[in-house]
Structure 1
Amino acid sequence: MASPSPASSTDRKIACNICRRRKTACDRKKPCALCEKSNFVCEYTISDRQPGLRAGYVSQLEKRLVELERRVAVVEERQPYDPFQAGSGPDHVANDHGFSPQHVASTTEDHTLSGSSIPSAPMQDGQQNPLPTPALSNPLPPTPKQVTFLDLQSYSVISEACEIWFRKYHRWFPILHQPSFTAVVLESGDLGISSGYGPVVQAIVAITLQHSKHEQMRDKLRQDWQDQISASVVTTAINVPTLNSIQGLLILSVLHYGEGASQRSSTLLALCRRIGDHLGLRHFLLNNNGLAATSPTALRRLPQFVNTIVEQEEKIRAYWMIEMLDHVAAIGARYTVGAALTPGNPLLPCSDSMWAFPEDVMNENHIRPYHYCSAFSLCVILATSELSGVHNFLLKPVMMQDFEQRDTWQSEAQRIDERLTMWRDEFVAAAYRLINAEYVHHDRPEMDPYIVLTNCVLNAAVITLLQQRVPCPSGIEQDVEPWAFASSRCIYAAENTAFKVRQMEEDELLICHPHLIFSIFVAARFYFVHSKALDANVPTNLHSLAFALHTCGKRWPLARTYERIIRIAVAEYRTPIAASTVPKEFFDLKLTTLEITDVLGEWVESVGHSLTMTDGLMPGLA
């Protein structure tokens, strides 16, 4: 009897390898329609994992059930939980705070949070300031699975949150030294209470609450907890302005940006900048031997790093993270962004491999200097040097109807674009040197989060610089004749972004840098409006960008908002702009994407949610 085909086999529930990489629908035949049409080798990857529970899983659940019943009984009796009764042996010895560093309750293989607990904020006098439980309009009845006050300082919840942070988020937000943080907060059981890491721990818990599988961790409750944590961290930062306060604020700023609260994110960054000035973070960046590290040719002469302790390196990273986020979040702003560039030859963040070493290894003389830096540093150079040129250019008023002003504008825009192109060439060369030095053993080194982010931010800058000179769709006033150079450069940038996101795996999109979402939407908006102006079919690349937004939206609300705008616009692709439900500003490329973000967000909240859209392929993209 012939073996069953991939479509009929009981263990075949996945697409073929080609369709999985291309993120297209697969009919699960052998060969499938796509592979047969394109003459590809159609192969399926069969998982060796056998169905059923793993060995010992039931006994683990039984032990955990006994432990949970013990803790519930303690709560009901209003007595402090005694970790000595949780188990036996040296691994269960409690520390001075009543927690056992080895006692980590993990309910799933993904180490998801088992509750919504958060640590207390450190006060100036060293006393503990427990965070109050957020008030809910409809409080839930107390049950064994209800979030309790005991969970607020649970070692298991905090340790799981930190594990998730360093596994999922640290790669694109490397402001913390993992070995030092782990040794102080987790291994010692301090939980940030006396070490000063309290604001950082709170912020980490806030950003990882999204991964909680607790039955009572509803969206409303999670949002209440995040608001409470944010208020506590801000209060602590104002009262006790320290480096740890800045780190906590930075984590919360990127959380709010990903949720679509750009104003809150900007406010936290402004507070970070003010505290950084108070602490003198710029002092640790100065090295007067040479020209500025943020000049257009900085990639050719990256600074040779000196020996610095962990605290100094964290100050360097905190300073540059503030600058990078401030400039990247303001692509297309028509106002002055950030502060003047740091003079001299400031130190950039060290390499990723160096940042993973313990402090004693980092201080060894034979380890440094390195002749290359990190991918984070490459993004810093782009944000603080090249994006400022785009910002300053957009600030200049121009009357496009005036031939001389238009000619001057085009000449300067072309010079800036040539500079960006030169920078892209240097970035590609620097990225390859970095990959060969740092990621030689990685399977996908070119997909480092900051290499991807830098590439896409650069594309967004090109589109923002030139998009107002491309053809306008019917219904939008065309001031002057379109500029063919602008159209070709914007198309290239949008295609480059689409190509990059197609290379990203689903797991990489699920936990991507939130600022990558904006660059994806800039490219998607240009693709759509430009195609409508030419009365052409919607380009297939738009599907890749919309799919990327859809995947990112499983984690970040900002991506869900952008995806909904694109889907509704495509559904009304043949509808005249005057009759479209999408705001007219969306179709006017004389307005930058940043300028219309608030308008689009308000529209989605008031109108967009009431419009029913189907999942799957968007109309016109089949």
Structure 2
Amino acid sequence: MDETGPTPPSERKVACNVCRRRKTACDRARPKCSLCTKNGLVCHYADKERHTPGLRAGYVQSLEQRIDGLESRLQRLESRVPTDGVTDPMQDATNSDGPEHVHHFYADGRPSTQGSGYFAGPTERLEGASNHDEHSFNLDHIGDPSPQNTGTPTDPLAFPVVQELCTVWFQKYHRWLPILHRPTFMQTLESAERVRLSNYAPVVEAIVAITLPHSNVISASALHQEHLRNQLSSSVVLQCIDRQSAQSAQALLILSVFHYGEGNFTRSWNMLAMARRISVHLGLTAPGDSGTASSPTALRRLADFTNTTVTQEERTRAYWMSQMLESISTVGAPYELALSATPGHPLLPCSDTFWDFPDEVMSEHQIRPYNYCSAFSLCVILAASELSVVHQFLRRAVNMEAFEERDAWQIEAQRIDERLTAWRDEFVAAVFRLINAEYASRERPEMDAYVVLTNCVLNTAVITLLQRRAACPEGTDQTVEPWAFANTRCVYAAENTAFKIRQMDEDELLVCHPHLIFSIFVAARFYIVHSKALDASVPTNLHCLAFALHTCGKTWPLACYYEKILRIAVAEYRTPVVLASLPRVFYDLRQTTFEIVDTLIEWVKGPGVDAGAAMPAASGHNGSMIFTPMTTNPLT
């Protein structure tokens, strides 16, 4: 055949290399196509590979070797992960493999040679996280295309994971825990070296512990993630014991909120107690004068001596956060709180606008340039001034069967309720001013995390204050006639909570403040018990509260427990209290929700696991369906 003749059929589908690179049509002429001939280019055709059918030699054997290796790695991993998936951080920190792998620091804040993740040397990583995984990351391997870095990282303290999760923290969680200065913290995260030399080590680990499920970089099962989070938590605790600093208090506050959302109340309050103790040792208190900060209007009277450096503001915020969290998480506690006395006119957190400025800008001002504070400050004032009055009142012993004692109790309770109502009016006005001054450019500014939380905690305080005198269903041994005023005010507070929760988007509920979950449950419990006492239909507002708990439960296990309790209570709504499977204390409003919540959670984890599965739907007196057991989406 002529060299320039037609292309053989077996080679017609092969374009020359030049045309393939340029992605142009090739006439496939041999020995040179017309394009290469016209432009004087070297025309070369790659021989088309011809594969015989079937697997290449040795392929099955290589697969078997890979499977054996994966099974061996899985066995080693399972030997390190607890079978029940739940570990005690303090136990992890004191077992045989604990102390030598915990982060240690020198007096000047530098990490010692004992460390993990990005704090460690080239061969050191978080124990139990990736020591047995040849595809794990550390700082020396980041960006290295070598085979040892081709897998997905499983080290939660690898620098890319830390950067990713800290970004998630500020996007999703910082709104309800604004104790970190974002510009300074993010500047620290620009390089691993900055992190190593900073004092933010425990803070970073606490953030990673909370946000680990959001990582797209790290690869780990839910069981393994839980193990990693417990290890990080124990590491933070031991670091904070060894090195007391403002950053240690911040890390403990972060973990406290995390454990509360997990339903570990005791551990949460222990973290809070440690944070407060560190605050006392470091002098993290808010200076003040002889004024008062008992109402939102006091926010306009700002001290002239304020030091607006980032360091001082972080200390102030850590102090108030510990005070606020303990107060709002123990509404209805039968014991006296160990809160430290606050000054008359304390230095409150600065405005959100000022808090977003870089350190250089904040340091230039000797006084705060904005004559308003944040929604966080509003919640601080509620916790420090109003909730303390409710706490003290509820601790008083009273015999409700004695008319004089009961009458005096009701008079005082009504006075406190009037005080809370007046505070609510000032709060609404303060939020309106705050929106106009600072939040005007925000979308849905009235749904700021602390505006919602403050409103709902205020409603929780009203219900907890007066529910003792509200109507209880038959079977709770209520010997005193219910007080109509208490019924009315508690219903109003529950409706106000439901109204605010109904305005929240699903995305907002997914990352809501964990302490908001308690307020939702308090309102839902009152709805069920009150309606059962009156033999009336359960209000439709209960549906939105149950749906909110279901949505929150995708992030916080505590909401799942509360939703399960409500589902069981609704399923046996027409069942007499004495025959109900739910603990009888649920229906006795003479006990606050705080007093019974541990009992309810223990029950729903144990005997209540399968309760309500076969219970019939409730029906009205005329046989019509008025309320059905809650499905996955209670609104449907």
| Global fold match (TM > 0.5) | yes
Task: Give the whole-Å Cα distance in 1 for the aligned partners of 2:302 and 2:631.
Answer: 47
Match of 1:104 in 2: none
Please give the secondary structure, in 1, of the residue aligned with 2:277.
Answer: helix
Contact 1:128 1:193 in 2 (8 A): no
Within-5 A mapping of 1:36-185? 121-125=103-107, 126=110, 127-131=112-116, 151-184=155-188
Q: Per-residue deviation at 1:123?
A: 1.2
Task: Give the whole-Å Cα distance in 1 for the aligned partners of 2:194 and 2:231.
Answer: 18
Please give the secondary structure, in 2, of the residue aligned with 1:254.
Answer: helix
Structure of greater Rg:
2
Please give the secondary structure, in 1, of the residue aligned with 2:409.
Answer: helix
Question: Structure 1 residues 414 and 250 mapped into 2: Cα distance closer, same or farther (>3 Å)?
Answer: same
Task: Give the whole-Å Cα distance in 2 for the aligned partners of 1:327 and 1:567.
Answer: 29
Q: Per-residue deviation at 1:140?
A: 12
Match of 1:525 in 2: 525
Task: Give the whole-Å Cα distance in 2 for the aligned partners of 1:215 and 1:295.
Answer: 46
Match of 1:35 in 2: none
Q: Per-residue deviation at 1:143?
A: 7.8
What whole-Å deviation, never above 9, does each CA across 1:498-541 have from its counterpart, x for those lacking one?
A: 00000000000000000000000000000000000000011100
Please give the secondary structure, in 2, of the residue aligned with 1:452.
Answer: helix
Amino acid at match of 2:478: Q
Match of 2:416 in 1: 416
Match of 2:459 in 1: 459
Task: Give the whole-Å Cα distance in 1 for the aligned partners of 2:367 and 2:299.
Answer: 22
Q: Per-residue deviation at 1:299?
A: 4.8
Match of 1:37 in 2: none
Within-5 A mapping of 1:477-556? 477-556=477-556
In structure 1, which of residues 207, 210, 219 is the aligned counterpart of residue 222 of structure 2? 219
Task: Give the whole-Å Cα distance in 2 for the aligned partners of 1:422 and 1:587.
Answer: 30
Contact 2:261 2:556 in 1 (8 A): yes
Task: Give the whole-Å Cα distance in 2 for the aligned partners of 1:453 and 1:405.
Answer: 34
Question: Structure 1 residues 451 and 305 mapped into 2: Cα distance closer, same or farther (>3 Å)?
Answer: farther
Please give the secondary structure, in 2, of the residue aligned with 1:281.
Answer: coil
Contact 2:307 2:366 in 1 (8 A): no
Amino acid at match of 1:274: R
In structure 2, which of residues 243, 246, 251 is the aligned counterpart of residue 243 of structure 1? 246
Question: Structure 1 residues 472 and 305 mapped into 2: Cα distance closer, same or farther (>3 Å)?
Answer: farther
Question: Structure 1 residues 370 and 134 mapped into 2: Cα distance closer, same or farther (>3 Å)?
Answer: same
Contact 2:501 2:545 in 1 (8 A): yes
Please give the secondary structure, in 2, of the residue aligned with 1:164.
Answer: helix
Task: Give the whole-Å Cα distance in 1 for the aligned partners of 2:263 and 2:380.
Answer: 23
Task: Give the whole-Å Cα distance in 2 for the aligned partners of 1:293 and 1:383.
Answer: 11
Match of 2:576 in 1: 576
Amino acid at match of 1:183: Q
CA RMSD of aligned residues (A): 2.6
Contact 1:473 1:533 in 2 (8 A): yes
Q: Per-residue deviation at 1:391?
A: 0.5
Question: Structure 1 residues 392 and 566 mapped into 2: Cα distance closer, same or farther (>3 Å)?
Answer: same
Question: Structure 1 residues 344 and 488 mapped into 2: Cα distance closer, same or farther (>3 Å)?
Answer: closer
Question: Structure 1 residues 606 and 143 mapped into 2: Cα distance closer, same or farther (>3 Å)?
Answer: farther
Task: Give the whole-Å Cα distance in 2 for the aligned partners of 1:599 and 1:495.
Answer: 26
Task: Give the whole-Å Cα distance in 1 for the aligned partners of 2:544 and 2:477.
Answer: 30
Task: Give the whole-Å Cα distance in 1 for the aligned partners of 2:416 and 2:300.
Answer: 19
Please give the secondary structure, in 2, of the residue aligned with 1:471.
Answer: coil
Question: Structure 1 residues 145 and 201 mapped into 2: Cα distance closer, same or farther (>3 Å)?
Answer: closer
Task: Give the whole-Å Cα distance in 2 for the aligned partners of 1:525 and 1:602.
Answer: 17
Number of positions where the alignment pairs a residue of Structure 1 with one of Structure 2 = 498
Please give the secondary structure, in 2, of the residue aligned with 1:514.
Answer: coil
Match of 1:200 in 2: 203
Contact 1:191 1:198 in 2 (8 A): no
Please give the secondary structure, in 2, of the residue aligned with 1:151.
Answer: coil
Q: Per-residue deviation at 1:312?
A: 0.2
Question: Structure 1 residues 525 and 168 mapped into 2: Cα distance closer, same or farther (>3 Å)?
Answer: same
Question: Structure 1 residues 420 and 501 mapped into 2: Cα distance closer, same or farther (>3 Å)?
Answer: same
Task: Give the whole-Å Cα distance in 2 for the aligned partners of 1:165 and 1:535.
Answer: 46
Task: Give the whole-Å Cα distance in 2 for the aligned partners of 1:589 and 1:617.
Answer: 28
Q: Per-residue deviation at 1:305?
A: 7.2
Contact 1:155 1:191 in 2 (8 A): no
Within-5 A mapping of 1:316-335? 316-335=316-335
Amino acid at match of 1:198: A
What whole-Å deviation, never above 9, does each CA across 1:41-95 have from its counterpart, x for those lacking one?
A: xxxxxxxxxxxxxxxxxxxxxxxxxxxxxxxxxxx9xxxxxxxxxxxxxxxxxxx
Question: Is 1:286 matched up with 2:287?
Answer: yes
Task: Give the whole-Å Cα distance in 1 for the aligned partners of 2:131 and 2:554.
Answer: 26
Contact 1:122 1:193 in 2 (8 A): no
Give the TM-score taking structure 2 as reference length. 0.74
What whole-Å deviation, never above 9, does each CA across 1:519-574 have from its counterpart, x for those lacking one?
A: 00000000000000000011100001001000100000000000010011101111
Task: Give the whole-Å Cα distance in 2 for the aligned partners of 1:519 and 1:305.
Answer: 37
Match of 1:560 in 2: 560
Q: Per-residue deviation at 1:614?
A: 6.5
Structure 2: 5+ residue stretches without partners: 1-68, 70-100, 117-124, 138-150, 614-628
What whole-Å deviation, never above 9, does each CA across 1:140-180 have from its counterpart, x for those lacking one?
A: 99585899887354211000010000000111100000000
Task: Give the whole-Å Cα distance in 2 for the aligned partners of 1:573 and 1:490.
Answer: 20
Within-5 A mapping of 1:417-432? 417-432=417-432
Q: Per-residue deviation at 1:292?
A: 2.8
Please give the secondary structure, in 2, of the residue aligned with 1:217.
Answer: coil
What whole-Å deviation, never above 9, does each CA across 1:163-219 have from its counterpart, x for those lacking one?
A: 0000001111000000001112x1143363221110000000000012235785223
Question: Structure 1 residues 143 and 566 mapped into 2: Cα distance closer, same or farther (>3 Å)?
Answer: farther
Contact 1:305 1:368 in 2 (8 A): no
Question: Structure 1 residues 508 and 152 mapped into 2: Cα distance closer, same or farther (>3 Å)?
Answer: closer
Task: Give the whole-Å Cα distance in 2 for the aligned partners of 1:366 and 1:234.
Answer: 35
Structure 1: 5+ residue stretches without partners: 1-75, 77-118
Contact 1:520 1:549 in 2 (8 A): yes
Task: Give the whole-Å Cα distance in 1 for the aligned partners of 2:632 and 2:395.
Answer: 41
Amino acid at match of 2:485: F
Give the TM-score taking structure 1 as reference length. 0.76
Q: Per-residue deviation at 1:129?
A: 3.1
Task: Give the whole-Å Cα distance in 2 for the aligned partners of 1:443 and 1:215.
Answer: 33
